[in-house]
Structure 1
Amino acid sequence: MTTTYTTTTTGRAGFPLRTFFVPFPFVCFTLALVTDIAYWRTSFLMWSNFSSWLLFFGLIVGAVGLLAGLVDMLRRSTRILGPGWAAAIGYALMLAVAVVNSFVHAGDGWTAVVPNGLILSVVTVVLAVLTVILAARRRSRVIWSVER
């Protein structure tokens, strides 16, 4: 018995629009955690401002990425390359926690970041990592299909 591995290429499927937007929130939320840690260790207000702006930009681009993902689900040519429902729910949950985190960071000074903002930033980054793992597992199953 021989096993044949086939791959799905972009020649047979369209290019997903969400790939332009989805990476930005992950980077912004991770950098917001880094700047929260920097603010916690140094108490320079600049780091708190950086965190607020990174959260804001991550949320704006994340919302655009969510809309692009919905468009990709409606397009027949990109539906097969979708991240799956588990990753989509994880992404939406990550954005919801980031919204709460952004509201917490809107407060004044030290209490806006330490401890609640820092904890929410950690939760947001953990959700981001779990979402990436779920999406990668789904994508690897779709791309490398085994035929017997």
Structure 2
Amino acid sequence: MAIFSASNRDAAAYPIQSLFVPFPFVCFTLALATDIAFWQSGNVMWQNFSAWLLLAGLMLGSLAILAGLMDLMRPRTRPLRPPLLSALLYLIILGLSFANNLIHAGDGWTAVVPYGLMLSALTFVLCLVAAAVSARKYARLAWRI
């Protein structure tokens, strides 16, 4: 029978937000891919896919924010909290994707092709930056353990 000290319990804590954060990144990346497909083909099906992917990413991103707030209240997840820059980037990404979803709500070619495509690309780049910022902290923690 193993007895866990306080330091072992703190090191073993797993943040709940880590379950939800990857899903918006995947949805926003696929929204960029479907925007490019719409730009190349003009088929309205791709515009609908983009709108649904943006909505799914926003919903799952909201769940990630709620899980992150729950993790803020748990003292055991203190070492694994994302840095402030990463949290701000997550909020900016969700704000941009909300604006992008409003743009995609329009009809026809102008709902995607200049501004929707640019916002999708900007969201994708910010997702990469947020993942890099978060990975730096987790890499430092891995060396600590």
Q: Determine if the TM-score, normalized by the shorter chain, exceeds 0.5.
A: yes
Query: Which runs of structure 2 are paired with 1:1-148 in the superposition (5 Å)?
Result: 12-145=11-144
Identity %: 48
1:5 is matched with which residue?
Answer: none
> How big is the shift at 1:145?
2.6
Instruction: For residue 144 of structure 2, give the secondary structure of its aligned residue in structure 1.
Output: strand
| Structure showing greater relative contact order (alpha-carbon pairs closer than 8 Å, 6 or more residues apart) | 1
What are the Cα deviations for residues 110-133 of structure 1, in whole angstroms up to 9, with x where unaligned? Answer: 100001000000000011000000
* TM-align CA RMSD: 1.7
Q: CA 1:55–1:9 in 2, change beyond 3 Å: closer, same or farther?
A: farther
Q: Is the 8 A contact 2:9 2:76 kept in 1?
A: no
Q: Give the length in aligned residue pairs.
A: 139
TM-score of the pair, normalised by structure 2: 0.91
Gaps of 5+ in 2: 1-6
Shift of 1:10: 7.4
Amino acid at match of 2:31: A
Task: Find the aligned partners of 1:16 and 1:9 in 2 and give their Cα distance.
Answer: 15
Residues 1:130 and 1:56: Cα distance change in structure 2 (over 3 Å): same
Tell me the TM-score normalised to structure 1 length: 0.89
Moved over 2 A (4+): 8-13
Structure 1 gap ranges (5+): 1-7
Query: Structure 2 CA distance, aligned partners of 1:10 and 1:18?
Result: 18
- Superposed CA deviations along residues 43-82 of structure 1, whole A, max 9, x for unmatched, are 0000000000000000000011011011112211112111
Which stretch of the first structure deviates more once superposed, 55-64 or 78-87?
A: 78-87
Residues 9 and 122 of structure 1, relative CA distance in 2, 3 Å threshold: farther
